Amino acid sequence: MTETVKDVLDLIKENEIRMVDFRFIDPFGVWQHFSVSAREVSGDTFEDGLGFDGSSIRGFQTIDQSDMLLIPDTTTTFIDPIFEVPTAVMICDIFDPLTRQPYPKDPRYVAKKAEAYLKQTGIADTSFFGPEAEFFVFDHVRYGGGTNSSFYFVDSTEGWWNTGRETENLGGQIQAKRGYFPAPPTDTLQDLRSLMVLAMEDVGLEVEVHHHEVGTAGQCEIDLRFDTLTRMADKLITYKYIVKSVARQYGMSATFMPKPLFEDNGSGMHTHQSLWKNGNTIMHDEAGYAGLSDVARYYIGGLLKHAPALLAFAAPSTNSYKRLVPGYEAPINLVYSQRNRSAICRIPMYSGSPKAKRVEFRAPDPSCNPYLAFAAMLMAGIDGIQNQIDPGAPIDKDLYDLPPEEAAKITSTPTTLDAVLDALEADKDFLLQGDVFTEDLIEAYVAYKREEEIDKVRLRPHPHEFSLYFDI
């Protein structure tokens, strides 16, 4: 673990590092980077910072205010497990070069401010997050489109549609929705996931488990051990980088797109979260429902109340709403329950230990920017606690098999990205508390989503529309 500048410089020398890679994240969850020769890195690098053009990063600066500064965080340093050239990596914070103040639109700064605000409230001093990011690994990917065409094609030797393929076919494909836990050789990706795990462990990530997921055609899950909010976001971005890079090394392609397949499961990112104070959980009360304290119930109340706005950051793609669809096994019901995976908030009951008491928010997906998504969830929970928002009675029934009169009483999440952006604009005050999120960050985020994502999808003919309407 590198703590100081000296630790980093010693690591570079002792490991004969040739390049140092500086990384930061844009508002939409994409890791950006540039590298310098290790010879150029000195103590001054950490004091003076490194300049970059903020106008070339989506959602950041205008061209007349383009100069920005990166300051490396020494505690995030790791040796890259992918590059052939020995390379050290550091995650950076973004600053204004004139004022030397943190940049308000830096997602990592937002996450840090959320943690600081939690302490300021006196409710707790630590927030733990544990995301379960699912992904697909494909053997072949093609997509594209233009004025007169649009298509995508993904393939995997595991895909159930390949049972009749005449070449390179050994059978044993995974049927739709039957991918959860079959042993090899049905699960063809055991070694690949293990290599991903080993690469993660090499950079200091703590992995709890890996397995095949429900979907056919290479759906996988690798779970990281929980950590504090900003650190967990750092780890999740590193996790995604390693998953995609190791897959590419072995001639495959990994995607965290929420819904790449029709008629099979999408990829979610169920997010476990808990609050602690003075080294003790404040989520547990033996007398409460599912062992929940009143604080935990109010935290859930905040998540439920603000869920539509939260999804603008936690399920932030048009494709997210191909997964969050009413009537299927999607976590869209705004209720909470112990063990019940059809509720948007689940209380895991695997362990009776008070330390394990937590809330699992099941609507997020891994297309999100984790710094913003985790920060937004924490702010919703804090708002719930401060205002003692009652989440109502839990529901322990199968929400997909309720009588019509009961089902009509259950509210659901919005069904489009457009709708959750509307919800965010109408319900953002809880995010602005403590200056954690800022108006200009939210405005820039919403504008980009509407102009560059929603409109670009909405204006294009869908391939299936030709099946429905061409010969009308």
Catalytic residues: 53, 132, 134, 213, 221, 270, 341, 360, 362
Measured distance CA(78)–CA(73) in Å, rounded? 11
CA dihedral 436, 440, 443, 445 (to 10 degrees): -70
Return the bridge partners of 284, or none.
292
DSSP three-state, residue 303: helix
DSSP labels, 53-66: EGGGSTTS--GGG-
Is the link from the previous residue into 414 a cis peptide, with omega within 30 of 0? no
203: its two tokens: 């950079």
Question: Which phi and psi angles does 457 have, rounded to 5°?
Answer: -80, -45
Return the C-alpha torsion angle 325, 376, 380, 441, nearest 10: -110
In whole angstroms, give the CA distance from residue 216 to residue 322. 17
- The full length of the chain comes to 472
Give the number of other Cβ atoms within 10 Å of residue 124's Cβ: 24
The DSSP string of 419-434 is HHHHHHHHS-HHHHGG
Distance from C-alpha of 283 to C-alpha of 291, rounded to nearest angstrom? 8
Q: Residue 405 burial (CB < 10 Å; 0-12/13-18/19+)?
A: exposed
Quote the CA–CA distance of 370 and 374 in Å, as a whole number: 6
CB 370 within 8 A of CB 29: yes
Report whether 134 contacts 219 (CB < 8 A): yes
Q: How far apart are CA 352 and CA 29, in angstroms?
A: 35
CA 1, distance to chain mean position in Å, is: 25
Tell me how far apart the alpha carbons of residues 46 and 5 are, in angstroms, rounded to a whole number: 7
Amino acid making up residue 15: N
